[in-house]
Chains A and B, each alone.
Chain A
Amino acid sequence: MNRQVPPGEAPLLHAQELRKQYGATTALDGAEFSIRPGEVVAVMGPSGSGKSTLLHCLAGIVTPDSGSLTYDGRQMAAMSDRERSALRRTEFGFVFQFGQLVPELSCVENVALPLRLAGTGRRAAEREANGWLERLEVAELAGKRPGEISGGQGQRVAVARSLVTRPRVLFADEPTGALDSLNGERVMELLTEAARSARAAVVLVTHEARVAAYSDREIVVRDGRSRDMAHAA
């Protein structure tokens, strides 16, 4: 694995010595992270270890108390809120465990939504959205509402939506947590295939080893500190 990532390529996201405190609780205590284009990195660790905080910091949703975080060579701390929002809208994609689709919209409208918000016309946005639904093998659901489809199908629609803007980094937080094994695996296969073919980097937060096995390498977070296991024995 790691085939698509030429050695020595500059990291897309690079975090050093990240610290984050919530009251008396230390969520991050010097965490490090680095990911290159086309790479899939699993962030593992027990509940409460700080892995979700790390993901939120990397995605610019939460601001770390200290440490350095660069995206494509630019310091995230130096960006304005507006710039960070624009980054999240255009360069980053997100997939969560559940509750992501807008229930009032059809599946194709859900997938087209990020493009519509960015100003793309309805017809072009839905054409693009239909293409992604097809790649995720749920083209036949285009006209259905989220309430009419299964959890596994909904997750595929959510993955299609996260990739429709062709993000450079996809953040996936327990993307298969609510699915059975077979559906979970298919979602992981489709997600990683789609992301790799688009050269998107994937930050995959999971506590499941079978899900992490779709990554190129894993970072283990424990007590707010991270450890890159790529070179472990």
Chain B
Amino acid sequence: MHPIYTHHVYPVCIVLPMSIGHTLLGLLESGPRHGYDLKRAFDEKFGHDKPLHYGQVYSTMSRLLKNGLVEVDGVESGEGPERKRYAITDAGVTDVQQWLATPEKPEPYLQSTLYTKVVLALLTRRDAAELLDSQRAAHLRMMRTLTERKRGGDLADQLICDHALFHLEADLRWLELTAARLEKLALEVR
């Protein structure tokens, strides 16, 4: 699979729109947790392709602490780097509520980059159809991987993969449509 898809498309579709701070806050609503517990819960539920780094957890928690969205519920002495236990505050609960109630901005994920590439290929008299064909093949390879993962996965895996699959499919439809309009586009951009 092409790294651009594992590193860009999939996380962009799944992980990035999901604010880590809000997610960690939401996980705290069921009760206080240690940083390590939070990371584990996040990775298990949302971090299939991209587990959190400890650093991300601690920097996020100190930001939430500073903003009054969490408080330290207790500090335990013992082994390991982080023994603070965090609890969500009322302000934190309100923040999660607002975040959940606000729709995400619909983003065109890849189109602008692909459009730039197609136009540049046409301008420089390179083979734009070839570019689109290669892109389609790369998309389909990613779709195969996700489809295969769905087969072996539980319902959560299936829903996450479906989300990515529908986005990739939308890209592919755009690729097909663009491929069918290359001659016209060439006349317009040259």
A220 to B144 CA separation, bound complex (whole angstroms): 16
Partner of A212, one of B134, B140, B173: B140
A233 to B139 CA separation, bound complex (whole angstroms): 11
Q: Which residues from B are CB-within-8-Å of A209? A: 139-140, 143, 168-169, 172-173
Sample of 17 further A-B pairs with CB below 8 A, known A1-B148, A210-B165, A213-B144: A1-B144, A209-B139, A209-B143, A210-B143, A210-B147, A210-B169, A212-B143, A213-B140, A213-B143, A214-B144, A214-B147, A218-B140, A229-B140, A232-B137, A232-B138, A233-B134, A233-B138
B114 CB–A CB distance under 8 Å: no
B90 CB–A CB distance under 8 Å: no
Q: Which residues from A are CB-within-8-Å of B136? A: 220, 229
Kindly state the interface size class of chain A when it binds its partner: 10 to 19
Taking a contact as CB atoms under 8 Å apart, the answer to whether A46 and B176 are in contact is yes
Q: How many residues of B are in contact with the other chain, CB < 8 A?
A: 20
- Min CB–CB distance B2 → chain A (angstroms): 8
- Min CB–CB distance B168 → chain A (angstroms): 7
B151 CB–A CB distance under 8 Å: yes
Partner of B134, one of A46, A214, A218, A232: A232
A213 touching B133 in the complex, CB below 8 Å, given contacts A46-B176, A46-B180, A229-B140: no
A189 CB–B CB distance under 8 Å: yes
Q: Which residues from A are CB-within-8-Å of B57? A: none
A233 to B137 CA separation, bound complex (whole angstroms): 7
Q: Which residues from B are CB-within-8-Å of A46? A: 176, 180
Q: Nearest 9 CB-CB pairs, A to B?
A: A232-B137, A213-B143, A233-B134, A213-B147, A229-B137, A209-B172, A209-B169, A232-B134, A213-B144
A189 to B158 CA separation, bound complex (whole angstroms): 13
Q: Which residues from B are CB-within-8-Å of A135? A: none
Partner of A227, one of B133, B138, B148, B151: B133
